[in-house]
Amino acid sequence: MPIIVLIALVVFFTSLNPNFMSLRNFARIAIAASPFLMVAIGVTFIIIMGSIDLSMEGGVALSAVIFCFAFLFFGGTLASGGWVAIIAALGFGAAYGALNGFIHAKLLIPSFMSSLAMGFVGIGATVLLTGGGIVRIDDDVFRMLLTYRFQGFPLMVYVAVFFLIVGILIQKKTILGRNLYAIGGAEDLARASGVPVLKTRILAFSLAGFYYALAGVLQVAKLGQAESVTGANLMFLSITAAVVGGVALWGAIGGVVNALIGVLIVTVINNGMVVIGLPDYIQDGVLGLLVIAAVILSTNRSAVKFVK
Q: How is 135-180 classified by DSSP, letter by letter?
A: EE---TTTTHHHH-EETTEEHHHHHHHHHHHHHHHHHHHSHHHHHH
Quote the CA–CA distance of 263 and 31 in Å, as a whole number. 12
SS3 307: coil
pLDDT of residue 226: 95
What pLDDT does residue 281 have?
Answer: 74
How much is the pLDDT for 5?
85
Integer Cα distance of 217 and 244 in angstroms: 26
Backbone angles phi, psi at 133, to 5 degrees: -100, -160
Topology annotation, domain 2-299 = ABC transporter involved in vitamin B12 uptake, BtuC (1.10.3470)
- pLDDT at position 307 is 44
| Parts of the chain with a pLDDT under 50 | 306-308
Give the model's pLDDT for residue 274: 85
pLDDT at 175: 96
How far CA 108 is from CA of 114, 171, 217, in Å, comes to 9, 25, 31
- Cβ pair 43, 238 in contact under 8 A: yes
Name the phi and psi angles at 237, rounded to 5: -65, -40
The pLDDT assigned to 270 comes to 87
The rounded distance, in Å, linking the Cα atoms of 66 and 226 is 9
Residues 6+ apart with CB under 8 A from 101: 201, 202, 203, 204, 205, 206
- What's the pLDDT at 147? 92
* Cα 167 to Cα 110: distance, rounded to the nearest angstrom: 25
Say how many CA atoms lie within 13 Å of 221 toward its Cβ: 28
Q: Which residues contact 228 (CB under 8 A, 6 or more apart)?
A: 61, 65, 123, 126, 127, 130, 132
In 3D, which of 83, 70, 68 has the Cα closest to residue 135?
68
Give the list of residues 6+ apart from residue 194 with CB closer than 8 angstroms, or none.
none
Beta strand 135-136 pairing with 225-226: antiparallel
What is the pLDDT, as a whole number, of residue 301? Answer: 57
How many angstroms separate the Cα of 18 from the Cα of each of 13, 25, 100, 308?
8, 11, 45, 41
What phi and psi, each to the nearest 5 degrees, are found at residue 256?
-65, -40
